[in-house]
Amino acid sequence: MALYSEKVMDHFMNPRNVGIIEDADGVGEVGNAKCGDIMKMYLKIDDDVITDVKFETFGCASAIASSSMATELIKGQKLEDAMKLTNKAVAEALDGLPDYKMHCSVLAEEAIQAAIDDYKNKK
C-alpha cells in the first residue's frame, strides 16, 4: 500500500489556494513543535461567509495537503459551518492520512479556528 493516497499527492504537488491575502479579515497561525510544521491561514469574510481563503505552510506533504484540502472545504462556507470542520473531515476528504501524520490535519483545523477567532476579535 502506498504511504499517501492519490488525493494527498495531488494536493501536495498541486496545492490549491496558496498565498497571502494582504487585507485579510482574519489570520490564524499554528504550529507543532514536535514536527516543525507551521501553518498560516488567511480569510476574507463578507456577511459571515468565507469568500476567499489562502494559506502558507512550512511542512511535510501531509501538512501541505491538509492545508490545501481544508481551504477547499471552507471556501464559500458560512463561518459557523467552517468552525465545525474537523481534522477527521479533512483527513477523510484526502482519502486518509497515516496515523502518525494525523496531527497535520489537526493543524489545519486549528489554523482555521484561529483565523476565525482573529476575525471575531477584530469586530
What amino acid positions are annotated as catalytic residues? Answer: 35, 104
Measured N-to-C along each axis, helices 61-74 and 102-122 cross at an angle, to the nearest 10 degrees, of 50
